[in-house]
Chain A
Amino acid sequence: SQQGEEDPQALSIQEGENATMNCSYKTSINNLQWYRQNSGRGLVHLILIRSNEREKHSGRLRVTLDTSKKSSSLLITASRAADTASYFCATYKAAGNKLTFGGGTRVLVKP
Chain B
Amino acid sequence: NAGVTQTPKFQVLKTGQSMTLQCAQDMNHEYMSWYRQDPGMGLRLIHYSVGAGITDQGEVPNGYNVSRSTTEDFPLRLLSAAPSQTSVYFCASSYSGLAETYNEQFFGPGTRLTVL
Chains A and B come from one and the same complex: yes
- Where the two chains meet, the residues of A that have a C-beta atom closer than 8 Å to any C-beta of B are 2, 4, 30-31, 33, 35, 40-45, 48, 88, 90, 92, 94, 97-104
Residues of chain B within 8 A (CB-CB) of A41 are 109-110
* Chain A residue contacts of B43, Cβ below 8 A: 43, 88, 90, 101
Whether A97 touches B42, Cβ cut-off 8 Å, given contacts A30-B99, A45-B105, is: no
Give complex CA distance A90, B107 in Å. 14
Measured between alpha carbons, how far is A30 from B96 in the docked complex, in Å?
Answer: 14
CB distance from A106 to the nearest CB of B (A): 10
Inter-chain contact B110/A42, CB cutoff 8 Å: yes
- Report B2 CB to chain A, min CB distance, Å: 13
Q: Is the interface of A mostly helix, strand, loop or mixed?
A: strand
**CB-nearest residue of chain A relative to B57?**
A98
* Cβ-based interface call for B45 (8 A): yes
Interface residues of B (CB under 8 A from A): 4, 33, 35, 40-45, 48, 50, 56, 58-59, 90, 92, 97-99, 102-110
Contacts of A2 in B (CB 8 A): 41-42
11 A–B pairs (Cβ distance < 8 Å), ordered by A: A2-B42, A33-B104, A40-B110, A41-B109, A42-B90, A43-B90, A44-B107, A88-B43, A98-B48, A98-B59, A102-B42
Q: Name the one of B45, B50, B108, B110 contacting A99, with C-beta atoms under 8 angstroms.
A: B45
Question: Given the complex of chains A and B, what is the CA–CA distance between A44 and B56 in angstroms?
Answer: 24
Beta-carbon contact of B104 and A45 below 8 Å: yes
Interface residue from A44, A97, A100, A101 paired with B97 (Cβ < 8 Å): A97
Closest chain A CB from B56 CB (angstroms): 8
Contact yes or no, A101 B105, CB < 8 A: no
Q: Which A residues lie within 8 Å of B97 (CB)?
A: 97
Chain A residue nearest to B3 (CB atoms) is A42
